[in-house]
Structure 1
């Protein structure tokens, strides 16, 4: 039996990929060769992939090996499967999510986002044996970013980080469910346990913050308050169900403004900004036994700017959050169902770009003109 079982159309072994060759450099769309999937892997023809802030951080500053193909919010169609793959078959539509080892304590206890090997598996730019599924003229191109490197027309991924979805969904926009959208929604529902009647303040109206808003409103949280300086994003937050929005530049005391809306404070708060002063405000706005979630990327030297005695006297908790504390195979289908019911319209955050315009898509993410750019192939 051959190592990979292929559908009749799965004959391509070349791909176009957006390669970053040096830190801070542009995405360069070039031809590459792609390896046949190994026993536990699948070959996916990409249909669309989100552009996430993490992609841009790794392009510009975070020390990943170069040259590399980034991208980690992919969606596509399975074209070939390895000999040990049992849950996927050619033709399946899949959303790709982060990589995890499957064998450590946290993976075994339904917490793959905290896999003991998360950093090398997702940021190492190579498979576990040091090889890469992508090459060019016989030289390896670093890949396997978040287990996928979805800024390419094809990706080789492990069976474990590809989640099958129904074929009647708009596949080209489904990719962000694998990271940014999942992170925001999961932060609200999984990490902070927001439920019906929970008062909730969200700091930042980007893709993560607005996904948290939609998820919170889907389960009946109230009031949900979004703190965001951009007027268009505040308006979108209202349209997505926010009970109140606050422009932090227009009020003298943001915490006091939240307390006025939330009857003395909120039971849950989520910071998506990573700004220490904002985190201080978020913690101050919490009611006794309130919970603060942190998903924003702070400067490397930043420390937690929260008064310990204030935390103790109120019994508040602080939770650093990766990937929304999600188990993708369970949580992504939950988000899809909410989307079908009209309760989670994440498509309103998305603007699509042709793959050849990936640099324009990245710029739109950086300048804030688009909340969630998605490149389509």
Structure 2
């Protein structure tokens, strides 16, 4: 268990494409039990979603209590013929370990297990507790995974003092970046209704595309904000515009557009929804492209659940991890809130949480891979963190 390469090889060879487990959690359990962990595999289900296997393991019974969180599920490999090496073989070539999940994020799990094993070998069991919360639902709908395991564990009396999520946070080199928060994410769909008709007789119809244009413009301009000290500016992206009209001479009856907003701590989910609703309501009365028409007939629907914005302010957790990174790499990492969402958005409701893992340049790509030196160095960083976190 002290070798992160061996640990990662065992995990990659379990083809755990979400929502399938294919033995990945049992492989992890086999690594943890010899180290003294009590391991529970728990499954959760909900209507319309796949049943998901998850793992919760704990070593120790006292505080401080550190959680390491992550996921063993991976995205599909795509066309396996495009890979230099089969995606679930964990092949090593020219100092790189290839495989789906190598960086996102079986590599982080493998390194953390190796760090624990080395810490126990050098110092014995820590004067506190370590737990691992590993889901099989991070790359899926994220309904039957981390959020339900947290509630299940909390009902059993589990409390945590801090958490590291082992996502691949580093953009270029190990030690570049620790994630100390995440922007919120909010998605919606706007549907405008009109009156279908012949394109040669527009006065008999009402083209919903003409109404949609100023409404979309209102979502893009003006900017929602200029950013904050910890976050970049809130950004809305139109992700699709659909009419579904195969005929060139027919005015459609409906037009729709979907959008996603990544927002900073200027907004809550509720206040951002209210701002978007106000913009659309005003723009619906804009008849520049529909002279003589009434306010547009539209419907706005929100895709739930939205992901809230959060920022970790726990200096002990952040400084201890950053110090461990500096001790092993010689550089102080950037403290960032960039990127998408992760399961840290659920964990922040239970304890302070930060994210740090491997270099993420090849995550979700063909030939996903990590350098063997990065596996060794990340193990060293986690080991240094454990020593500092549990120092008397």
TM-score range, shorter chain: under 0.3
Asked which structure has the greater CA Rg, the reply is 2
Give TM-score scaled by structure 2 length.
0.27
Report the TM-score, using the length of structure 1 for normalisation: 0.28
Q: Which has the higher contact order (CA 8 A, sep 6+)?
A: 2
